[in-house]
Structure 1
Amino acid sequence: MAPVMHRIGGEGDAVVLIHGFGADRLGWVANSPALLDTYTVWAAELPAHGTAEPGATTPIDIASALTELLPQNDKPIALIGHSLGGAIAAHLAALRPDQIGKTVLIAPAGFGSGAVAGDFLTGLPGLQSEDEALQHLRQLVVRERLIMPQMAQYVLKHLEKPGRREALAEIAQAALNFELPALPNEALVIWGEEDAINPPDMEWLKSLGERAMLLPQTGHLPHVEAATKVNRRITDYLAS
């Protein structure tokens, strides 16, 4: 089965949001409202995530499947991808250079320091209790209060869907060892300085100059933890 593409709303040029491992389209609730006044916002759901059935498991194969779901637009489509979704966005930009314009990569998988917390990825599909899920998910952020019990319950509910745990386990393994896509031209890269899941490569980010945004006291979810700053930077970048 293919990924799923949801039209969130808005009018204007298309922006496609691509979530990370274990998330879904609702992971963008702090960001999509900032885009809706200017853009038509779409949100992908990766295989075995959200409403999408299990299917492709590697970043390149998921990106290939997404090429069939891109909105039809006369102007280039902007991509915003987080973590695994960042790697998929980079692959997608390489696969469809004629369709894809600007890209925003938030803590993109494969582009960090290399010290990826593999236990976070491989452990998520096996979560059983609310307490276990809360402890696991709180690794994503610096301010643990951002991860509420309802989020843990939501993750556990989706893990109970048929074939979901097995499919996520395959995606997790693929995410630990995959062909790294090229960094899209003029991509904006956003990272949390205290990302414990996919730690940033400080020297590489420094080399990007104004194309990089490094946020202090922020973990793996900068678009949630520092939503106001991130939204402002993204909208300025897309408008430039």
Structure 2
Amino acid sequence: MSGLRETFEAETTTGGDTLYQVQAPGSPLFAEAQPPRGSGLPAALFVHGLGGSTRNWEPLMAELAANVDGHAVDLPGFGQSPPPDDGDLSLDAHTRAVVDHLERSGRGPVHLFGNSLGGAVATRLAATRPDLVRTLTLISPALPELPPQTTAWPTGLLALPGAPAVIRRASRGGSFESQTQALLELCYGDPGSIPPERRALMVTEYRRRAQLPYALDVLSRSARGIVRAYTERGDHSLWRQAELVTAPTLLVYGLKDKLVGYRMARRASRAFADSRLMVLPHAGHVAMMEFPALVARRVRDFLAEIDGREK
């Protein structure tokens, strides 16, 4: 990382990973680097979903440490990254932040991974900046699904004006453990499979996040950005942009996903020109957290296929 020290303002070590900060226009961005198990590995960047953080990718990044030099970024307002100075949390703004990160770190083109909101960001980035993307792996990407499945409606309601105040009132008096459990019920196919030590870390992170004064506002405005992106038409439509992606694409869907319906897998397979599909029958919305070893195995096969094609 010596060549990046002029760009990165701070570096600290948390466990075996490195947390660092890059000063992007309007807001500093934090990212986490998984120490690679080897030299000269190809660069990869992981982008989390709505309400997530770099921690969502730690299990998969650890599994892939011998295959890629993986970094995960906290989108503006999420994880360790503060909200942007201009308050813009649209899909375009999140995409610009990831582009800024890649340009300032000089790590592109990368193997780009995205989950949920991060999948929409990754799709738009791959369509508009193909020079920065070598391959694309999308796990339950938030591409327009109209009408959405009924289990996704509460998430859509986050976009309504006044939603943060309603959520504050509704959650008042509830324990962080119960609120974390409700979130896990929404995102996991089987929340009961989460090891106790990892669940405890999730509760700690939920508590930290909930105590930030801007957390609900960032969540609501980012949800509003997704809803707005769902209504865009013409060349700015996410489905149209998916059709413009030239990077080889791996699509991962879970049959128990309550937020992104499996019915969208077939449409996505048709939209991305060079795609292949992985379906996990017992996974929910965050397959990379529930089944990191299975997802990593398929990713390794995918990367080996592309590497062989490029030689």
Q: Which residue of 2 aligns with 1:31?
A: 60
Among 193, 196, 200, the alignment partner of 2:258 is 196
**1:194–1:216 contact (8 Å) kept in structure 2:** yes
TM-score (norm 2): 0.69
Mind listing any 5+ residue stretches in structure 2 that lack a counterpart? 1-26, 306-311
CA distance in 1, matches of 2:145, 2:286: 14
Among 192, 206, 210, the alignment partner of 1:145 is 192
Q: Which residue of 2 aligns with 1:230?
A: 295
Alpha-carbon shift at residue 203 of structure 1 (Å)? 3.5
Instruction: Map 1:1-240 onto structure 2 (within 5 A).
Output: 1-10=27-36, 11=39, 12-55=41-84, 56-70=88-102, 71-73=105-107, 76-112=109-145, 114-115=147-148, 117-120=152-155, 122=158, 126=168, 127-128=171-172, 129=174, 130=176, 131-146=178-193, 148=199, 150-178=201-229, 179=232, 180-181=237-238, 182-183=241-242, 184-185=245-246, 186-200=248-262, 201-204=264-267, 207=270, 211-240=276-305
Q: Which has the higher contact order (CA 8 A, sep 6+)?
A: 1
**2:109–2:133 contact (8 Å) kept in structure 1:** yes
Higher deviation after alignment, 208-217 or 55-64? 208-217
String of CA shifts for 1:95-140, please: whole Å, max 9, x gaps: 3211211000000001556415131362796455321331233111
Aligned-residue CA RMSD in angstroms?
Answer: 2.4
CA distance in 2, matches of 1:83, 1:52: 18
TM-score (norm 1): 0.88
Alpha-carbon shift at residue 206 of structure 1 (Å)? 6.1
CA distance in 2, matches of 1:90, 1:190: 14
**1:17–1:79 contact (8 Å) kept in structure 2:** yes
Higher deviation after alignment, 137-146 or 207-216? 207-216
Mind listing any 5+ residue stretches in structure 1 that lack a counterpart? none
Looking at CA atoms only, which structure, 1 or 2, has the larger radius of gyration?
2
Q: How many residues end up aligned between the 2 structures? A: 239
